[in-house]
Structure 1
Amino acid sequence: MAGTRVACVQMRSGRDPATNRDDAVRLVSEAADAGAVFVQTPEMTSLVERERNRLFENIHRQEDDIALAALRETARAHGITLQIGSLAVRDGDKVANRAFLIDPQGEIAAQYDKIHLFDVDLPNGETWRESRTYQGGERAVLARTAIGRLGLSICYDIRFPYLYRAYAQAGAEIIGAPACFTRQTGEAHWHVLNRARAIETGCFMISAAQGGLHEDGRESYGHSLIIDPWGRILAEGGTEPGVIMAEIDLDDVTLARGRVPSLRHDRDVGMQVL
């Protein structure tokens, strides 16, 4: 499949879901008009909000989410496959950080809830307790798309290599890791983690990101990435909202895995603890 054009939409989502929805629709449409047949938006496309009460005031059940409805229609209108990096949707008394894969007819082809939740105290004084608000997912999701077999993940998931290896061994050719990485951790690890996951799995990595200083005070790293199976960066964003694009060829997956066939060399090792 030579010359398949894919795109990442980089955003700086704020506290108003309607504004964020409009920004996402505009940028996805821009990517589609430029020839992308697959477009990915970042984690928390429709709302970046760290205050729990304000978060709950601005989110809804999946069937009532205005961004999901608008982006489904955008995918249908342009005839593209769209990966909504994630939306915050109500799930009982908690929130699901949920990714949606939308097919060219505007239908929900797959959805995935972020499995690994980010609970941490950072040296700069920032504290994150996603598990206080969010309900973690329980299963990985591998979906067939018009551009190849796609594994779904979100942000902090990228720090858990076993998930990505499981995707690759199940047949993934592309893995999406849309994110809202903090600036501090992003500067240290974002590029290394994305390139490592590509190299380890022999997959393309497509990772749309939030970037810049958000209304709620969070500062995210940006630098959306499209990486080939050899770990080479094909396209990269900065910190400003916009679109990055690259051409991918699934033959590169076969070539990379042929050169380093590590996916076939797992061993059941014992552990000696001294």
Structure 2
Amino acid sequence: MKVAALQMVSTKQLKTNLQRAEVLVAKAAKNGAQLAVLPENFAMFGSKEVFDLAAAENAGGELQAFLAGLAAQYKIVLVGGTIPLPAEDGRVYAASFVYGADGVCLGRYRKIHLFDADVGDAQGSYRESDSYAPGDEVVVIDSGLGRIGVGICYDLRFPELFRRMLELEADIIVLPSAFTRNTGWAHWLPLLRARAIENQCLVVAANQGGVHDAKRQTSGGSVVIDSWGRVLAEAGLGEACVVANYDQEEQRALRLRMPVAQHRRL
């Protein structure tokens, strides 16, 4: 089976972002991918219009219809990056929808960990919790290609989340992201490899990768990593479609040879 991580350099222009997303999904399908992952904020990056988008998506909207249509048109299981949904307290959730190859929604995850940090770049301070509310549910989805555990960006730093996914019998971990340049170049790949190795799961991580405005730069490096921690395919900066083979039988065999999950004591 082939899987794809789709890397974008999204802007505040919704129409342009959707056009580029479709180009990348089409490219993944053309290269034989059965699963594709879009990055966090694929449709709108760095805009206060996120609240308007969230209101429109509350009962199904343009973005959900767009993602369902792409999945059905290209006959691909599609992890739709993130789109905003209204939260009860006036903020929004960052939600990742997963669609089957027939366009049917298989499930939804709302980002649990919010990025409130000072990282020393041009923006300096990030306070995601000012606008976003945290989700509270670990989500693993039966996709027909394997059980998919969904995390989003800053979630990557919290290994207990992914261990819970393993308890829920995840085979594949997907991670739509928009890592900052400073943090991504330092920590992105080591953390992704650790999550793959310790949980013996395939990891498909789709990042934003470029300059978005005068203050925002993301780190790129979208990647597919197997359950042994091997980097199967990796992007640099800029728009990219990263495709690699996923050997499900090899992963099952590894889990039998080295049954890490059964050896846990804490």
**TM-score scaled by structure 2?**
0.94
Q: 1:47 to 1:30 in 2, by over 3 A?
A: same
Q: Count the aligned residue pairs.
A: 263
Distance in 2, matches of 1:216 and 1:165, equals 37
The question of 1:61 aligning with 2:56 is answered yes
Q: In the alignment, which residue of structure 2 is the partner of 1:229?
A: 227
1:208 counterpart residue number: 206
The answer to which of 61-70 and 113-122 deviates more is: 61-70
User: Does structure 2 conserve the Cα–Cα contact (< 8 Å) formed by 1:17 and 1:67?
Assistant: no
Corresponding position: 1:25 with 2:22: yes
1:77 aligns with 2:73: yes
Q: Is the 8 A contact 2:119 2:183 kept in 1?
A: no
Q: What is the distance in 2 between the residues matched to 1:5 and 1:85?
A: 18
Match of 1:12 in 2: 9
Q: Is the 8 A contact 2:39 2:207 kept in 1?
A: yes
Amino acid at match of 1:165: R
Name the CA distance, whole Å, in 2 between partners of 1:20 and 1:149. 29
AA of the residue aligned to 1:77 = Q
Q: Distance in 2 between matches of 1:110 and 1:55?
A: 21
Partners of 1:102 and 1:109 within 8 A in 2: yes
Give the alignment's Cα RMSD to 1 decimal.
Answer: 1.6
- Once the 2 structures are TM-superposed, how far is the Cα of residue 260 of structure 1 from its aligned partner? 3.0
Pairing of 1:103-122 with structure 2 (within 5 A): 103-122=100-119
| Counterpart for residue 102 of structure 1 | 99
Structure 1 range deviating more: 200-209 or 54-63: 54-63
- State the Cα distance separating 1:64 from its structure 2 match: 5.2
Compared with structure 1, are the counterparts of its residues 58 and 101 closer, same or farther at alpha carbon in structure 2 (3 Å cutoff)?
closer
* Alignment partners' CA distance in 1, 2:81 and 2:108: 10
* Paired residue type of 1:8: A
Secondary structure of the residue that 1:37 maps to in structure 2?
strand
Q: Which AA in structure 2 matches 1:245?
A: V
Residue 61 to residue 140, structure 1, CA distance change in 2 (3 Å): farther
Matching residue's letter, 1:88? P
Question: Which moved further from structure 2: 66-75 or 78-87?
Answer: 66-75
Which amino acid is 1:39 matched to?
A
**Are the counterparts in 2 of residues 15 and 216 from structure 1 also a CA contact under 8 Å?**
no
CA positional deviation for 1:33: 1.8
Query: Offset at 1:229?
Result: 0.2
- CA distance in 1: counterparts of 2:49 and 2:171, whole angstroms: 38
Matched, 1:36 2:33: yes
- Following TM superposition, the consecutive aligned residue runs of length 4 or more in structure 1 with deviations greater than 4 angstroms are none
Counterpart secondary structure, 2:33: coil
**1:271 paired residue number:** none
For 1:179 and 1:26, locate their aligned partners in 2 and report how far apart those are by CA, in whole Å.
19
After TM superposition, list the pairs within 5 Å mapping 1:183-198 onto structure 2: 183-198=181-196
**Residues of 2 paired with 1:154 and 1:31: CA distance?**
21
Contact between 1:222 and 1:238, CA under 8 Å: does it hold in 2?
Answer: yes
Mean CA deviation greater in 65-74 or 190-199: 65-74
Residue number in structure 1 paired with 2:140: 142
Alignment check: 8 A CA contact 2:151 2:174 kept: yes
CA–CA separation in structure 2 for the residues paired with 1:254 and 1:58? 41
1:169 to 2:167 alignment:
yes
Q: Cα offset for 1:13? A: 0.6
- Aligned-residue offset at 1:135: 1.1
C-alpha displacement of 1:262: 2.1
Extract unaligned runs of 5+ from structure 2: none
Matched AA of 2:82: S
Whether contact under 8 Å (1:18, 1:66) holds in the other structure is no
* Contact map agreement 1:43 1:209 (CA 8 A) in 2: yes
Alpha-carbon distance between aligned partners in 1 of 2:31 and 2:258, rounded to the nearest angstrom: 34
CA distance in 2, matches of 1:109, 1:140: 15
For 1:225 and 1:61, the matched residues in 2 are separated by 32
Q: What TM-score do you get using the length of structure 1 for normalisation?
A: 0.91
